[in-house]
Amino acid sequence: MTDEALLIEQLKNVQTKEKAYIKLVSLYKERLYWHIRKIVISHSDADDVLQNTFIKVFKNIDKFNQNSKLFSWIYRIATNEAITFINKRAKQRNLDISDYQLELVSTLANDDFFTGNEIQLILQEAIATLPKKQRLVFNMKYFDELKYEEMSEILNTSVGALKSSYFHAVKKIEKYIKMKTN
Amino acid sequence: MSNHIKNSEEFLNSISRKKNGFSVPKNYFNAIEEKINIKLAEERFKNKSGFDVPNTYFKKFEEDLLAKVLSPSPVNETKVISFKERISKIIPITVAASVLLFIGLNSFIFDKTTELTLDTLSENEIEYWLDNSDIYLNDIAIVEAETILEENDFYFSSLRDEIIEEYIYSIENSYLLYELN
C-alpha cells in the first residue's frame, strides 16, 4: 500500500481520522498556501481560504472516490475556494473580477507581506491582467512547477488546452514587462 | 511553440528568478495546524446553540407578519377619570366633614339649598376647597400612590408600541436607566 493510499484509509477511519488529518495538513499546508496566495494576493485572505480548504477536506473526505490523486483533489478544492472567495469579494465591491484583481495588485507596494522588488511587482501586475484561466495556468506551471498532467487533473482541462493557455500567458507577460521596463 | 516559450521563460527567469515576492509572518506555518484545529472545533459546534423554533415558524413568518400589519389597530380612547372621583378617594372621612363645613360656610358663593353631602358636591366646589384649604400636596401624593400604580397597569396594557417608543425617545436616557434599575 502506498503512503497516499494508507493516509486515505486512515482519514476515512473514525479512529485514526484526527491523527491522519494532522499529517495531511502538515504535508500540504505550504504548497496549498502559496497556490492560494497567488490567487487571492493578500496574506490574511490566503490564511482564511487555506483554513476553509482544510475544513472542507476534513468534512468531505468520505466523498473522495480516489479517481484522482489525493493532492490533486485537495488542490482542486483549494482552487475552487480561492476563486469563490475573490468572486465574492469582487461582487461585494461591485467590481468586475479582472478590475478587482488589478485593484488587489495595486495594494501590494504597501503590503507588509510583499517583499518583492520592482520587477516582481511588475510581474504581479502583468499576471493580474491575464484572463482567469491563463492566470491560474501560469501560476501553477511557472511558480508551482506542476506537470501538465497534474494540472489537467486539477483543472479538468485537456493538456493541449493548458499548453496553449500557458503559451499565451507567458507571451503576454513578457510583452507587459518589456513595455513597463523600457 | 516550445522554443518561443523557452525564450520567454528564460527572459522571465532572468528578471524575476522565479520569485513572486510574497512573504508570510514569522512562524506562520508552525501555527497553522492549531488555527485549523480551532476552526474545525468551531465548525463542529456551528448552529448548535440549543435554541429552537416551532416547526412552521419560518414558513408562516411572512404570513403572520402581514396579518399583523394589515389588521386595523384598536382605537385607544383616553380614559377620563373624574376629578371628583379621585378627590373623594383621597379625602379621609374626618376631612370630609371639614370640606362640607367649608362649603356650607361659603354657601353664598355656591348657592347651596340642598343637603350637603360629598356626593352632592360638584367638581368646581371641590376645586375651590382645594385652592383655599391648607391640605398639602404631599398628603395627596401619599394617599394617591396606590391608586396611580393601579391606573398605570391599565395605561400600559392599552398603550400602542409606537406611543411607548415615542415616550422613550422623549425622555433622557439616564432616567430610563434609573427606571430599569
| Domain annotation covers residue B75 | no
> Is B33 in Cβ contact with A22 (below 8 Å)?
yes
Tell me what ipTM this predicted complex has.
Answer: 0.79
Q: pLDDT by residue for chain B (181 residues), tens digit each?
A: 667 777 888 888 888 778 888 999 988 998 888 888 888 888 777 666 667 778 888 788 877 887 877 777 666 666 666 666 666 665 665 566 666 666 666 665 655 555 666 666 677 777 777 777 666 666 566 555 555 555 555 555 566 777 777 777 776 665 555 555 5
Determine the structural domain holding residue B94 and report its residue range.
83-180
Give per-residue pLDDT as tens, B61-104.
Answer: 877 887 877 777 666 666 666 666 666 665 665 566 666 666 66
| Domain annotation covers residue B25 | no
* Count of domains observed in chain B: 1
What pLDDT score was predicted for residue B114?
59
Instruction: Give the residue on A whose Cα is nearest the Cα of B40.
Output: A55
Check whether A130 has a pLDDT greater than 60: yes
Instruction: List C-alpha distances in Å: B67 to A60, A135, B43, B119, B158.
Output: 44, 54, 38, 49, 20
Give the Cα separation of A37 and A46 in Å (integer).
5
Measure A148 CA to nearest chain B CA, in Å: 14
> Is B9 in Cβ contact with A170 (below 8 Å)?
yes
> Is B16 in Cβ contact with A119 (below 8 Å)?
yes
> Is A115 in Cβ contact with B5 (below 8 Å)?
no
- Residue B12, all three cell numbers: 522571465
Residues of B in contact with A115 (CB under 8 A): 21-23
| Domain annotation covers residue B134 | yes
| Domain annotation covers residue B132 | yes
What is residue B18's DSSP assignment?
T
Q: What is the assigned CATH class of domain A1-98?
A: mainly alpha
Give the Cα separation of B18 and B46 in Å (integer).
42
In A, what residues contact B, Cβ < 8 A? 22, 25-26, 29-30, 33-34, 37-38, 43, 47, 50-51, 54-55, 58-59, 108, 113-117, 119-121, 123-124, 142-143, 163, 166-167, 170-171, 173-174, 177, 181
Check whether A111 has a pLDDT greater than 80: yes
Residues of A in contact with B22 (CB under 8 A): 34, 37-38, 43, 113-116
Give the Cα separation of A4 and A66 in Å (integer).
10
Helices (H) and strands (E) in chain A, counts: 9, 0
Domain ranges of chain A: 1-98, 116-182
Instruction: Specify the CATH number of the domain A116-182.
Output: 1.10.10.10
Within a 13 Å sphere around the CA of B32, how many CA atoms are in the beta-carbon half?
31
Give per-residue pLDDT as tens, A38-53.
Answer: 999 999 999 999 999 9
Q: Could you tell me which residue, A168 or B165, shows the higher pLDDT? A: A168
